[in-house]
Amino acid sequence: MAARHPSLCHRDLDVQQHRDVRLAEQTRHPNQDIDSACKEAGLWPDIVLSGHAHLYQRFTRKVDGREIPYIVAGSGGHNVTLPRGEVIGRAPITWGEYTLVKEPVLKYGYLTVTVDMSARGKESLSVTFQAPSDQSVRDVVTVNLSTHALMVG
C-alpha cells in the first residue's frame, strides 16, 4: 500500500507498508502535510525520517493512541549547523502533539535501522543515531510494532 503526497518540498512523501512495518520519509522537518498522505493511505507510519536540517534531533508525536518518533537526521551532509532562528532548548519540550525528546546534536553521524520480527507480539523497529567522532553521542528509539508504543530499555 503506498500513498503519494505532492505538496511536500521537492519530493513526494512515500508511505509504504511491508509486513507490519510502516515508514514515512520526507525531506524537511516534520509537519502536518504527512497527515493527508496517511489518511489517504489509511494508515499511520511507525516512524518518520526526515533529513533536511544539518543536525540530529528526535521528536515523539502522540496521535490516535500511537507514539510515533519523528527523526530529523541530516548530520551526514554539509556543515553541521543549527537552522537559522532555531535555539537549542532543554528536552523535553512539547508543542501540541509533538515533544522534542532529543535536543539537536550538532555532530556528523549516521542512522542504523533494525527491524526485529522474531518474537510474536514484540515485533519492533529500532533506529540508532551514532556520531563516529564521539562514541558518547548516541540515541536509540524502539517502537513496538504491535502496540505502537515506544519500548524502554
Consecutive sets of 10 residues in the chain, 153 residues long: mean pLDDT of each? 34 42 53 73 84 84 88 78 69 86 87 91 91 91 92 71
Domains of the chain by residue range: 2-108
Q: Give the predicted TM-score (pTM) of the model.
A: 0.75
Q: Judging by DSSP bridges, how do beta strands 13-18 and 21-26 pair with one another?
A: antiparallel
Q: What's the confidence (pLDDT) of residue 26?
A: 53
Q: What's the confidence (pLDDT) of residue 19?
A: 46
Q: What's the confidence (pLDDT) of residue 73?
A: 87
Q: What's the confidence (pLDDT) of residue 10?
A: 29
Q: What's the confidence (pLDDT) of residue 45?
A: 85
